[in-house]
C-alpha cells in the first residue's frame, strides 16, 4: 500500500505550476500512481484567482485542491501552513519550490524551521537554477542540509526526465557493440547543442541576469555530458549512477580565467538590448570546449553550445567517430565522412546513426552518407511521457536517480565559474544576426581545432 501523500506547491499560482505540475499530477492520479493522495495545496499570492482553474480539471482530481494566499517571505503565513500540516498526521509531505531562485533560501529556512515541530516523512523539490554561481550554490546547499537530509532533497533538472537522454545510458550499457568503441581510441569529439529560434519571450528580466551559460550549459548540457561520459556503474542504483556522474564532473579540466578565450566564446543577438530596454553584456549565445582528464577520454574535446534566435531549434548530442586512415581515403580517391551517432532530444525524439555506404556505381566508388533512424515515439507506438511526469513519479517513489546530488551541483558550478568571472569583467560581447548560427567567433572557435559544428 502506498504511503499517503500531500503536495505543497510554493509558487502554486505561477506559470510552471499551472502549465506543468497540475496537469502532470492529474495524469499520475488517473493512472493510479497517486492512490494515497490527500491534498494538493497551492501556495501563492492572489491564490483566490486560481480557484476557477479547477474547473478545467477532472472533478475527481480537483477535489484534492486547496488554494492559500501565501507570501514565502512572511513568517506569519507559515502559521497557516502549520495548521494544514497538523491536519495530516503521518502523511508524507512533498514541498515543491516552483519559485524564482531569489526566494529559495527564505522558503527553505522558514519551511525547515516549521517542520522541526513535526515528525512527518518529508521531501523537498527545488527547481533550477540551483544557485547563481558556486558561492550561492554552496550557500543554498548549506541551508538545505540544516533542515533536510540528502535523501529528502530532490534538485530537479527537467532535461533528465526526457526519454532520449535516459536512452543514452540504455544504449551505451545495454548494447555491447558500443562499449568497445566508446573511448578516445575511436571517438574524435562529442558535440552537445541546444539551439533556439526564439528570443526573450517575456523572460527579459530573468534571462538578462542569468545568460546562456548559466541557463543551459551549467546544468542541462553538463548533465548530458555526464551521461555520455560516465563509466558503467557497478550496480544500477541511484547512488552508484550519481557517483559515476560526479567522477566525470570532477575529472573535467578546470579552465583558468586567463585561458577562457581559448576554451569559451559568447555572443549576443542584434536587437537584444532594444528588446531589453537597456544596455547589457549578457550573452545570448555561449560555447565551451571541455576535456575530461581520465583514461577513457584523455584528449577528446566535448563541445557544448547554446543560443537564442539561431537558425534552427534543436537539442542534440552527437558522437563523432574518428576518420578512417588516410591511406584508405587515397585508395578510394575521396575521404569518407565521419560516422556519427546522434541523440536528438528536441523537437523530435530520435536516435540516428550516420554511416558510409557504396552507391550502385561500382566497387570501391566514393561512399555516400546513409542513415539509420529510430523515432522513439513511432518505434514504441506511443509518445514518451512528459519529462515532469517521469520526475514527479520518481519523487513520489523516492527514486533519486534523475536528480542532482549536493556534490554534483557544486562541481557543475565549479566547471564554469572562471568563465562567469571572466565574462563579468568584459563588456565587449560579439554580436550576431538573428537567424544565423551565432557569432563569427563561434565558427573560428571550432575551426582552430580543424573541426566544424555538426547537427544531424
What are residue 39's DSSP bridge partners?
6
Q: Is 14 annotated as a binding residue?
A: yes
CB atoms within 10 A of CB 151: 11
Q: Is 38 annotated as a binding residue?
A: no
Contact 307, 286 (CB under 8 A): yes
Cβ-based neighbours of 66, under 8 Å, separated by 6 or more? 39, 40, 41, 42, 84
Cβ-based neighbours of 52, under 8 Å, separated by 6 or more? none
- Cα 336 to Cα 14, 133, 333, 447: the distances in Å are 52, 44, 10, 19
Q: Is 326 annotated as a binding residue?
A: no
Report the candidate in 392, 423, 151, 105 with the shortest Cα–Cα distance to residue 263: 423
Contact 21, 50 (CB under 8 A): no
Q: Is 128 annotated as a binding residue?
A: yes
Q: Is 208 annotated as a binding residue?
A: no
Q: Is 72 annotated as a binding residue?
A: yes
Q: Is 71 annotated as a binding residue?
A: yes
Please report how many Cα atoms fall inside a 13 Å half-sphere around the Cα of residue 71, on the Cβ side. 4
Q: Is 433 annotated as a binding residue?
A: no
Q: Is 12 annotated as a binding residue?
A: yes
Q: Is 308 annotated as a binding residue?
A: yes
**Per-position b or e across 244-278, b if 16+ CB within 10 A of its CB:** bbbbbbebbeebeeeebeebbbbbbbeebbeebee
What span, in angstroms and rounded, lies between the C-alpha atoms of 81 and 69?
Answer: 11
Q: Is 105 annotated as a binding residue?
A: no
Q: Which three cell numbers stand for residue 441?
A: 567567433
Which residues have a catalytic role annotated? 220
Q: Which three cell numbers stand for residue 179?
A: 562499449
- Cα 161 to Cα 188, 220, 389, 395: the distances in Å are 28, 11, 8, 12
- Rounded CA Rg of the chain: 24
What span, in angstroms and rounded, lies between the C-alpha atoms of 48 and 178?
Answer: 55
Q: Is 172 annotated as a binding residue?
A: no
Q: Is 11 annotated as a binding residue?
A: yes
Q: Is 18 annotated as a binding residue?
A: yes
Q: Is 196 annotated as a binding residue?
A: yes
List binding-site positions. 11-18, 71-72, 128, 158, 162, 196, 215, 308, 313
Binding-site residue set for substrate: 158, 162, 196, 215, 308, 313
> What residue numbers does the annotated binding site for NADP(+) cover?
11-18, 71-72, 128
Amino acid at each position: 500500500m502506498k504511503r499517503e501523500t500531500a503536495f505543497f506547491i510554493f509558487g502554486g499560482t505561477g506559470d510552471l505550476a499551472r502549465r506543468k505540475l497540475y496537469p502532470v499530477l492529474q495524469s499520475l492520479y488517473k493512472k493510479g500512481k497517486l492512490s494515497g493522495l490527500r491534498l494538493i495545496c497551492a501556495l501563492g499570492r492572489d491564490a483566490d484567482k486560481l480557484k476557477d482553474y479547477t474547473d478545467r480539471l477532472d472533478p475527481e482530481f480537483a477535489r484534492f485542491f486547496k488554494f492559500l494566499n501565501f507570501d514565502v517571505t512572511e513568517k506569519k503565513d507559515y502559521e497557516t501552513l502549520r495548521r494544514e500540516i497538523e491536519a495530516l498526521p503521518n502523511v508524507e509531505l512533498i514541498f515543491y519550490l516552483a519559485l524564482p531562485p531569489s526566494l529559495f533560501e527564505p522558503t527553505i529556512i522558514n519551511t525547515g524551521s516549521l517542520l522541526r515541530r513535526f515528525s512527518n516523512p518529508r521531501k523537498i523539490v527545488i527547481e533550477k537554477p540551483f544557485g547563481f554561481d558556486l558561492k550561492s550554490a554552496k550557500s543554498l546547499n548549506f541551508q538545505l542540509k540544516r533542515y533536510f537530509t540528502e535523501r529528502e532533497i530532490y534538485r530537479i533538472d527537467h532535461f533528465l526526465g526526457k526519454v532520449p537522454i535516459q536512452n543514452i545510458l540504455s544504449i551505451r550499457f545495454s548494447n555491447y557493440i558500443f562499449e568497445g568503441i566508446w573511448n578516445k581510441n575511436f571517438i574524435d569529439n562529442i558535440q552537445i547543442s541546444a539551439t533556439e529560434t526564439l528570443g526573450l519571450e517575456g523572460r527579459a528580466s530573468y534571462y538578462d541576469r542569468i545568460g546562456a551559460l548559466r541557463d543551459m550549459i551549467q546544468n542541462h548540457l553538463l548533465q548530458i555530458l555526464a551521461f555520455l561520459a560516465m563509466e558503467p556503474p557497478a550496480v544500477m542504483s541511484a547512488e552508484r549512477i550519481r557517483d559515476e556522474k560526479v567522477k566525470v564532473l570532477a575529472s573535467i579540466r578546470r579552465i583558468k580565467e586567463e585561458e577562457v578565450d581559448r576554451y569559451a566564446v559568447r555572443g549576443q543577438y542584434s536587437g537584444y538590448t532594444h528588446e531589453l530596454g537597456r544596455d547589457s553584456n549578457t550573452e545570448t549565445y555561449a560555447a565551451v570546449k571541455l576535456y575530461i582528464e581520465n583514461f577513457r577520454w584523455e584528449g577528446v574535446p566535448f563541445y557544448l553550445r547554446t543560443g537564442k534566435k539561431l537558425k534552427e531549434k534543436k537539442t542534440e548530442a552527437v558522437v563523432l567517430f574518428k576518420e578512417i586512415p588516410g591511406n584508405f581515403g587515397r585508395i578510394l580517391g575521396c575521404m569518407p565522412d565521419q560516422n556519427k551517432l546522434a541523440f536528438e532530444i528536441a523537437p523530435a525524439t530520435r536516435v540516428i546513426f550516420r554511416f558510409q555506404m557504396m552507391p550502385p556505381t561500382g566497387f570501391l566508388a566514393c561512399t555516400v552518407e546513409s542513415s539509420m533512424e529510430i523515432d522513439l515515439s513511432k518505434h514504441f507506438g506511443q509518445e514518451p511521457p512528459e519529462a515532469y511526469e517521469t520526475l514527479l513519479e520518481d519523487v513520489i517513489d523516492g527514486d533519486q536517480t534523475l536528480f542532482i546530488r549536493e556534490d554534483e551541483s557544486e562541481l557543475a558550478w565549479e566547471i564554469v565559474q572562471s568563465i562567469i568571472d571572466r565574462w563579468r569583467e568584459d563588456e565587449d560581447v560579439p554580436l550576431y544576426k538573428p537567424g544565423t548560427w551565432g557569432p563569427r567567433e563561434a565558427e573560428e572557435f571550432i575551426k582552430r581545432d580543424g573541426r566544424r559544428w555538426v547537427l544531424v
